[in-house]
A and B are shown apart, each in its own frame.
Chain A
Amino acid sequence: MLSDREVISTLEMLRHEHLDVRTVTLGISLFDCASGDIGRFTAMLREKICRIASGLVEVCDQVGVRYGIPIVNKRIAVSPIAVAACAMSTGQMVEAAVALDSAAREVGVDFIGGFTALVEKGFTSGDRALIEAIPDALASTERVCSSVNVASTRAGINMDAVYLMGKTIKRAAELTSERDGVACAKLCVFANIPEDIPFMAGAYLGVGEPDQVINVGVSGPGVVKMAIDRARAANPGIDLGELSEIIKHTSFKVTKVGELIGREVARLLGVTFGVVDLSLAPTPNVGDSVGEIFQSLGLSHIGVPGSTAALAMLNDAVKKGGAFASSYVGGLSGAFIPVSEDLNIAESARKGFLSIEKLEAMTSVCSVGLDMVALAGDTSAETLAAIIADEMAIGVINRKTTAARLIPVPGKKAGEKAFFGGLLGEATIISARGENGSSDFIRLGGRIPAPVQSMTN
């Protein structure tokens, strides 16, 4: 028999604290669709995606209803297109993106990831063609997401790729200037990209992954915040060690939900279950914010001194609870701090508590990185590249994933607001100091060598 407390606390998590499964992402390999002929490649990829993913949305909805846990997003991640379509030209890469977009629309998923290149050590012809195609591909599709891995702890930082991405982001923003550069919201530049991320825009199906796999992204910032609030109300003398324990327990519960739902969806689709990605991923809704957790922990705004320490504790406690709840943890697994996608973080940026430098510092202790950061439209490709390079360095040296999702909003300046719509939210543009101070450095190019793995200070 269940206890009243178990039933009521579960109900409260669902009713008031936004407990949900943030995304169920179906990975589909496209390597068996590889062809030198673009018509054949796009026909095969459409057929495969539509065949395997046709039941995804319906099954997720059924499972969500059965357990009373909403599965907010259903998505698809495919093999890196730069590998699967290595022989294609830039124009043909755009055609491939359009085919992915139409397959996604046909099966009813809101995003499909995998317009991806892995270039940490150098480029193939396919990588170059894909990166060159990114601006057009993202501007001419709605649902395609793109990611480029430009650095790793074992390879170092491909600074030629970093510069190229600065230019690519700039171009993608220009092509969608009437929508505040929204194409850039679908483009992530990574260091140490994991092969099994279920979250967008970084989701793709890694080269070592199976033909089909279900990866689940759990979230739950609202649940964590309420647990902290309740604990502090019940015990005003509670300390950070005890609060970290509360966060751990909460993360355990949220992860168990994700794994149960993910395994059920995988079973019904007849697909392997991959991993649970334990992330605190916010949405632009009150009560579903990572920023609000900082306030519950006694900081006036995310970004004030103490924020990095609070985030370090939060991120670590989430991992500890989640790792006990599931044996198959992967993806990004940490707290996200996407500026525009979190009302509270966006507000803190607007009020000036959150600078790009503080965001960068915080990304050294949590997952992802400079995420959904709106910059002035006249930020140069070199400055964008330099910001990316800094973020990549944090990942490479700390043996962790970092990413940059930067949006230079065309025609707008620091302090103005950018609107991306829906889950992508809105954000005040923050200023990047020292414009043009990095150009000479960035133009040097080459590859920053991989770091030494001993002497860890």
Chain B
Amino acid sequence: MKKAIVSVIGHDRPGIIAAVADVLFVSGCNIEDVSQTILQTEFAGVFIASIPDSLETGELVRRLGEKLEPMGLAALVREMDPAGIWGAPASEPFVITTLGPDRLGLVAGITELLASFGVNIASLKAVFRGGVNPRSNIMIYEVDIPSALDQNLFREALYERGRELGLEISLQHRDIFEAIHRI
């Protein structure tokens, strides 16, 4: 058995997951992981499935295209290569939140800094709707900060970047959110 990663995007509507799952099922593929999200009107889903050795990736692409294209969806299939997988260093989970007015380059500005420090983003949610409501202009990054990193140095650099971008930034250990909201 080999594994493939399938990603699907397009306008959201009922039946997208059903269509993808049906193609995978009749092709003898077993779904191992699925995650989907909807941003504004758009659907995006990622599937990891084990596929029979006899099934060529190109054939799976053809079958998916046949089913999904009429629905206005695009699919990308890639065989998972066990070589070259990034080995995550020992790290601690933190949450970065930013509040502040929308402008060009906010996500780029923050993520460039995270990348330069080797800080991995485990989850990112960002909305920019304008106006003054903080809930309408917020980025929430769940990140893994390598234990070996000088956290004070990173914190200072992050706050400085926030000042440059006109953002109010907080960086807090994830445990505090769990402590407050979960039993």
Residues of A within 8 A of B (CB): 1-2, 4, 6-11, 13-14, 65-69, 253, 256-257, 259-260
B97 at the interface (CB under 8 A from A): yes
B174 at the interface (CB under 8 A from A): yes
Q: List 21 A-B contacts (CB under 8 A).
A: A1-B142, A2-B123, A4-B135, A4-B140, A6-B180, A6-B181, A7-B140, A9-B181, A10-B177, A11-B134, A65-B155, A66-B173, A67-B173, A67-B175, A67-B176, A68-B171, A68-B173, A69-B172, A253-B180, A253-B181, A257-B180
B36 at the interface (CB under 8 A from A): no
- In angstroms, Cα B170 to Cα A258, docked, is 19
* A8/B179 in contact, CB under 8 A: no
* A1/B180 in contact, CB under 8 A: no
* A8/B138 in contact, CB under 8 A: yes
What is the CB-to-nearest-CB distance from A35 to chain B, in angstroms, rounded to a whole number? 42
B8 at the interface (CB under 8 A from A): no
* A2/B138 in contact, CB under 8 A: no
Residues of B within 8 A of A (CB): 95, 97, 99, 123, 125, 134-135, 138, 140, 142, 151, 155, 170-181
What is the CB-to-nearest-CB distance from A161 to chain B, in angstroms, rounded to a whole number? 42
- In angstroms, Cα B10 to Cα A311, docked, is 57
* B179/A257 in contact, CB under 8 A: yes
Chain A residues within an 8 Å CB radius of B125: 4
Chain A residues within an 8 Å CB radius of B180: 6, 9-10, 13, 253, 256-257
- In angstroms, Cα B173 to Cα A65, docked, is 9
- In angstroms, Cα B95 to Cα A9, docked, is 14
* B175/A260 in contact, CB under 8 A: yes
- In angstroms, Cα B84 to Cα A270, docked, is 42
* B170/A68 in contact, CB under 8 A: yes
Chain A residues within an 8 Å CB radius of B179: 256-257, 259-260
- In angstroms, Cα B177 to Cα A14, docked, is 12
What is the CB-to-nearest-CB distance from B133 to chain A, in angstroms, rounded to a whole number? 10
- In angstroms, Cα B140 to Cα A67, docked, is 16
Chain A residues within an 8 Å CB radius of B155: 65
What is the CB-to-nearest-CB distance from A150 to chain B, in angstroms, rounded to a whole number? 39
Closest residue of chain B to A256 (Cβ to Cβ) is B179
- In angstroms, Cα B140 to Cα A1, docked, is 11
Interface centre among A2, A6, A69 (most CB of B within 10 A): A2
Chain B residues within an 8 Å CB radius of A6: 177, 180-181
Interface centre among B97, B170, B171, B176 (most CB of A within 10 A): B176
Closest residue of chain A to B170 (Cβ to Cβ) is A68
Interface centre among A9, A66, A257 (most CB of B within 10 A): A66
What is the CB-to-nearest-CB distance from A252 to chain B, in angstroms, rounded to a whole number? 8
- In angstroms, Cα B177 to Cα A13, docked, is 11
* A257/B176 in contact, CB under 8 A: yes
Chain A residues within an 8 Å CB radius of B95: 2, 7
- In angstroms, Cα B177 to Cα A148, docked, is 40
A2: which of B134, B171, B173, B177 is its contact (CB, 8 Å)?
A: B177
What is the CB-to-nearest-CB distance from B120 to chain A, in angstroms, rounded to a whole number? 15
What is the CB-to-nearest-CB distance from A264 to chain B, in angstroms, rounded to a whole number? 9
Chain B residues within an 8 Å CB radius of A14: 170
Chain B residues within an 8 Å CB radius of A2: 95, 123, 140, 142, 174, 177-178, 181
Q: With A67-B176, A68-B171 known to touch, is A7 a contact of B97 (CB < 8 Å)?
A: yes
Chain B residues within an 8 Å CB radius of A10: 172, 176-177, 180-181
- In angstroms, Cα B177 to Cα A256, docked, is 10
- In angstroms, Cα B116 to Cα A369, docked, is 56
